[in-house]
Amino acid sequence: MIRLFTHILILLTFVSGPALAQDLAVLIKFQVDGSGFDGSKVTIKENGAVKQVYEPAKGKMIEDLSFDKDYMLIFEKPGYITKRVEISTKSVPEDIQGEDLDFDFAVEIFEQYEGVNTVIFNQPVAKWFYDTQEDEFTYDTDYTKSIRSALINFDKEYEEAKKNPPKPDDAALKAKQAEEARLAAEAEAKAAEEARKLAEAQAAEEERIRLEEEARLAEEARLKQEQELAQQKELEEQQRKEAQAKQEEEEQRLAREKAEAESREAKAKAEEDERSELKAKAEEEKRLAEAVAAEEKRKADQKAEDEARRKADKKADEASKQAEAARLAEEEREQQKAALEEEMRLAEQNAASEAKRRAQLEKEEIEKRQREADARIAEEERRAIERAAAAEKRKQESEAKAAEEKRRFEAEQAAFEEDRRKKAKAAFEAEEKQKAQAQAVSEAQKRDREAAVAKMESEKNMTVKDAGAVVDRTEEVIKEANRTITKVTMQREHMTYIYKKVVYNWGGVYYFRNDTDVTKFVFESESSATP
């Protein structure tokens, strides 16, 4: 099955290089299985006749095929199976023959073995044609299906012969080659006969068209002769109508120019209004941004002031609490001292006899209690100091937090101001850019008008000879109620001319170049030139 597809390998990719005008470029990818290209050749037949023979040195070649032709491409090499590909370039509409319709395909030929039936290759392995529904070249799938079974049988025989190649039999091989040559000759003869019949049919059709053209020209000559008498009578009226038509065209041209000028002025005014609106919008955005910034700054200042007031009140409360604690401790010491003095006085009055012993004991007790009181006082002072230190620490942390919040607010305010400044700068630069663009457009329009005026002035005195060679030619036939106009546009290197042939139903014929009367000879000689 793999080899089957190599017989009819179709690659639907477009050729990268451009084709010649009105030609179809086909990229051929040719491959010889297990060998080089020595001794191989590719034959191109056009309508049954040999057009060209290649002796390829590489596997890729590009062939330019003409439209409305039948082609047969034959790929062969001594000792290898010959393959054929048929291409029909007919049925392609003339208006798209210059478009990119190029395609490519690949063909591989294989070594020929004795005993393998290769009759299937006396006919094409693929047929290409233009598909009018898909608007592209494609291969005939119905034809491919019709030879598919024969190709599958060939593959089986070929693989068997390749595995077990038969011994050479010169007589049988020569007979087979003769049979294949006979069949190939019959196929070529058939193609030649078809081409001959086609050529005869085309010649007959061309003869019929020629006779019809001669009859039509004779009829036109008779009608012209009959109408020459009426032509002289109506000539003056027609000339008046032509002059009136020219005047109307000139008035229409002036009206169009006036409308274009008014349109340009309206556009310029609209652009100016748009710029003014954008400027006012930018100023309003700037004012709103400044108002928002001021409001946010006021809120931040109020917040900082409230926080500072709260911290000061908290600090005052803590200081008041510390002072109250110190006062209570002092009062407790005074009371204890007074109590001790009173006890000493009573002890001296009540125990005079035992004064020394009891006094000593009491003194020791007093000193003990004094030490305990001093210890309690010292503990209270230590705790007061720790509370003060903790309050100071909280104060420092609060101040640090307030400083951090202030720094963050200032950073946010600075970022806001920077963003506002950038937006204002961007709006200003956009406005300046619009002004520059408007000025550039205005200057470009001015240059275009000056160039158009200069071109009109130069074209007034330019002859057809000075206009250079023909670059492009288009022809158009316009049929009206009382006349037929043949309009030919000739684009030369330096100027474009419009030729008109006006044929009236009553027989009058007039010729013009850029709406100026010319002779028939001038019309025919100048409008018939080709690029």
Tokens representing residue 509 in the block: 């014929």
Strands 103-109 and 23-32: parallel
Write the DSSP symbol of residue 111: B
Residue 201 CA to residue 212 CA, distance in Å, equals 16
**Three-point CA angle 340, 345, 350, nearest 5°:** 120
Residue with tokens 């040195």: 57
What per-residue confidence (pLDDT) applies to 271?
80
Q: Is the pLDDT reported for residue 453 higher than 90?
A: no
Question: Which H helix or E strand runs over 129?
Answer: strand 126-131
Tokens representing residue 373 in the block: 């009181």
pLDDT band at 512 (very low <50, low <70, confident <90, very high): very high
Q: Is the pLDDT reported for residue 156 higher than 90?
A: no
Average pLDDT over residues 399-408: 83
Q: Judge contact between 158 and 2, C-beta under 8 A.
A: no
Compare 354 and 524 and report the one with higher pLDDT. 524
pLDDT band at 232 (very low <50, low <70, confident <90, very high): confident
Between 298-312, 410-424, 475-489, the lowest mean confidence (pLDDT) is in: 298-312
What per-residue confidence (pLDDT) applies to 129?
93
Between 273-282, 349-358, 417-426, 514-523, the lowest mean confidence (pLDDT) is in: 349-358
Between 177-181, 292-296, 417-421, 521-525, the lowest mean confidence (pLDDT) is in: 177-181
Residue with tokens 């230190």: 389
515: alpha, beta or left? (left if phi > 0; alpha if psi -120 to 50) = left
What per-residue confidence (pLDDT) applies to 502?
93
Share of the chain above pLDDT 90, in %: 11
Q: Is the pLDDT reported for residue 362 higher than 80?
A: no
What per-residue confidence (pLDDT) applies to 117?
81
Q: Is the pLDDT reported for residue 113 higher than 70?
A: yes
**Three-point CA angle 507, 504, 212, nearest 5°:** 70
What per-residue confidence (pLDDT) applies to 458?
57
pLDDT band at 457 (very low <50, low <70, confident <90, very high): low
Say whether 110 sits in a helix, a strand or coil.
coil
Average pLDDT over residues 500-504: 92
Residue with tokens 């200042």: 301
Read off the pLDDT of residues 29-75 as tens digits, 9 standing for 90 and up: 898 988 888 889 999 999 989 988 888 877 788 888 999 999 999 99
Q: Judge contact between 111 and 34, C-beta under 8 A.
A: yes
Q: Tell me which residue of 92, 93, 103, 98 sits closest to 70, measured CA to CA.
A: 92
Q: Judge contact between 23 and 55, C-beta under 8 A.
A: no
Average pLDDT over residues 344-354: 72
Q: Is the pLDDT reported for residue 477 higher than 60?
A: yes
Share of the chain above pLDDT 70, in %: 89
pLDDT band at 8 (very low <50, low <70, confident <90, very high): very low
Q: C-alpha 298: how far from its chain's center?
A: 51
Beta-carbon contacts of 260 under 8 Å, excluding residues fewer than 6 positions away, are none
User: 355-460 and 170-350 helices cross at what angle (nearest 10)?
Assistant: 150
What per-residue confidence (pLDDT) applies to 349?
73
- Please state, as a whole number, how many other Cβ atoms lie within 10 Å of the Cβ of residue 159: 13
> What are φ and ψ of residue 516, in 5° steps?
-115, 135
What per-residue confidence (pLDDT) applies to 501?
94
| Mean pLDDT of all residues belonging to the chain | 80
Q: Judge contact between 495 and 514, C-beta under 8 A.
A: no
Q: Is the pLDDT reported for residue 454 higher than 70?
A: no
Q: Judge contact between 522 and 513, C-beta under 8 A.
A: yes
Question: Which H helix or E strand runs over 212?
Answer: helix 170-350
Strands 83-88 and 126-131: parallel
Q: Rounded to the nearest 10 degrees, how much is the dihedral formed by the CA atoms of 172, 174, 176, 182?
A: -150
Beta-carbon contacts of 50 under 8 Å, excluding residues fewer than 6 positions away, are 43, 44
Q: Is the pLDDT reported for residue 363 higher than 90?
A: no
Average pLDDT over residues 288-303: 77
Between 30-39, 164-173, 274-283, 318-327, the lowest mean confidence (pLDDT) is in: 164-173
Q: Rounded to the nearest 10 degrees, how much is the dihedral formed by the CA atoms of 198, 200, 202, 204?
A: -150
Q: In DSSP terms, which residues pair with 503 in a beta bridge?
A: 484, 509
Say whether 74 sits in a helix, a strand or coil.
strand
Q: Rounded to the nearest 10 degrees, how much is the dihedral formed by the CA atoms of 339, 341, 346, 348?
A: 150
Compare 84 and 258 and report the one with higher pLDDT. 84
Compare 166 and 145 and report the one with higher pLDDT. 145
Residue with tokens 């010169």: 170
Strands 83-88 and 60-66: unpaired
Q: Judge contact between 311 and 399, C-beta under 8 A.
A: yes
Average pLDDT over residues 370-375: 82
Q: In DSSP terms, which residues pair with 70 in a beta bridge?
A: 88
Residue 271 CA to residue 431 CA, distance in Å, equals 12
**Three-point CA angle 153, 154, 159, nearest 5°:** 105
What per-residue confidence (pLDDT) applies to 82?
92
Residue 497 CA to residue 526 CA, distance in Å, equals 10
Write the DSSP symbol of residue 112: -
Beta-carbon contacts of 40 under 8 Å, excluding residues fewer than 6 positions away, are 30, 32, 55, 56, 75, 76, 77, 80, 109
What per-residue confidence (pLDDT) applies to 6?
52
Q: Is the pLDDT reported for residue 13 higher than 80?
A: no
What per-residue confidence (pLDDT) applies to 287?
79
Compare 455 and 299 and report the one with higher pLDDT. 299
Domains of the chain by start residue, with CATH: 2-168 (2.60.40.10), 271-457 (no CATH), 466-527 (no CATH)
Read off the pLDDT of residues 181-223 as tens digits, 9 standing for 90 and up: 777 777 777 767 877 787 787 778 778 888 888 888 888 888 8
